[in-house]
Amino acid sequence: MSARRTLIAGNWKMNGLSADAKALATGLAEKMKAAGDVNFEMLVCPPAIQIPVVATAIAGSGIQLGGQDNHANASGAHTGDTSVAMLKDAGCGYAIVGHSERRTDHGETDAVVKDKAQAAHGAGLVAVICIGETEAERDAGKTLDVNGSQIAGSVPDGSTSANTVIAYEPVWAIGTGRTPTNDEVQEVHAFIRGELAKKVGDAEAAKTRILYGGSMNPGNSKDLLALADVDGGLIGGASLKVDDFWTVAQNA
Ligand code: PEP
């Protein structure tokens, strides 16, 4: 059995108002408390403005809290951004960096993602570093090249299995209802672990959690989470409903 503890992470993106966030977080906290011992860790990443209401709702449940992004700088003239210290202060233990929507909407390069991950590490946050190929890159047979170069460019020095989680999210699978085959997912995850080993060494790479993300749902999660190198999921749409997200977690 793998020493890597399964991480079921919800990326709520820019959805819902505070009442929705409170209801979702409260519903999950109730499930966690009723379940007692579970064989997974649960993480929720609400919109930044809703982190406080979620922190209150999940207190004492064991559910962990994360930001969806952080700035690379500690403070200063960065209108609209959130610092790692602010996330930490609000109760976060994690920060997603380099999500493909940030890479696309905000032009974030591997170098930017790397700086953000480094800032997260500096504040004692676990960086969930997202990578993944576009459909055109997959069609061109470049899937492994793209993911290898994103690992090389986005994972900072000083990364360890304790401060870093990798999320493999094929861009074309996000929010589309489409996924690679299970064999394809396993192939990419095993490849990513090998590329990560070049940066952090074999022992740390073997302990680092690599999540799959992209249309994971109650129906496909059992098979995906059973793959040898899949150590959890980063889940968007299906993380917005208590029952769906809970079912995914139960499939861990
Ligand atoms: C995501 O954006 O991180 C994601 C995986 O979204 P979805 O589950 O909706 O495809």
Q: Which CATH number characterizes residue 44's domain? A: 3.20.20.70
10 lines ligand 1 (CB under 6 A): no
Output the CA–CA distances (angstroms, integers) from residue 173 to 48, 151, 215, in the order listed.
25, 19, 6
Question: Which atom, in ligand 1's list, is nearest to the CA of 215?
Answer: 10
215 lines ligand 1 (CB under 6 A): yes
- Nearest in space to 167 (alpha carbons), one of 137, 131, 194, 198: 131
Q: Contact at 8 Å (CB) between 61 and 32?
A: yes
Output the CA–CA distances (angstroms, integers) from residue 24 to 39, 65, 100, 108, 151, in the order listed.
21, 13, 24, 30, 33
The verdict on residue 207 lying in a domain is: yes
The pLDDT value given to residue 59:
98
The pLDDT value given to residue 1:
45
For the chain, the residue count is 252
CB-count burial class (<10 Å; 0-12, 13-18, 19+) for 29: buried
CA-proximal residue: ligand 1, atom 7 (nearest): 236
CA quadruple 225, 67, 80, 150: dihedral positive or negative? negative
* d(CA 100, ligand 1 centre) in Å: 10
The pLDDT value given to residue 58:
98
Indicate which residue of 71, 99, 121, 189 is catalytic. Answer: 99
3-state helix, strand, coil in the chain (%, to 5): 45, 15, 40
214 lines ligand 1 (CB under 6 A): yes
The contacts found for 104-107 with CB under 8 angstroms, 24 or more apart, are none
The verdict on residue 190 lying in a domain is: yes
The pLDDT value given to residue 188:
98
- Nearest in space to 214 (alpha carbons), one of 105, 133, 152: 133
Under DSSP, the state recorded for 250 is: H
Question: Can you give the pLDDT of all 252 residues of the chain as single tens digits?
Answer: 468 999 999 999 999 999 999 999 999 999 999 999 999 999 999 999 999 999 999 999 999 999 999 999 999 999 999 999 999 999 999 999 999 999 999 999 999 999 999 999 999 999 999 999 999 999 999 999 999 999 999 999 999 999 999 999 999 999 999 999 999 999 999 999 999 999 999 999 999 999 999 999 999 999 999 999 999 999 999 999 999 999 999 999
Indicate which residue of 101, 133, 169, 195 is catalytic. Answer: 169
Beta-strand pair 6-11/164-168: unpaired
Q: Tell me if residue 133 is catalytic.
A: no
- For 93, the enclosing helix (H) or strand (E) is none
The verdict on residue 1 lying in a domain is: no
Residue 219 tokens, joined: 């129906």
The pLDDT value given to residue 3:
83
* d(CA 77, ligand 1 centre) in Å: 31
Q: Contact at 8 Å (CB) between 127 and 112?
A: no
CA-proximal residue: ligand 1, atom 6 (nearest): 236
Query: Is pTM, for the whole model, over 0.85?
Result: yes
The contacts found for 74-79 with CB under 8 angstroms, 24 or more apart, are 74/119
7, 11, 220: which to mutate for ligand 1, most atoms within 8 A of CB? Answer: 11
- For 177, the enclosing helix (H) or strand (E) is none
Number of domains within the chain: 1
- Nearest in space to 49 (alpha carbons), one of 10, 95, 8, 81: 81
Q: Which domain holds residue 54?
A: 6-250
128 lines ligand 1 (CB under 6 A): no
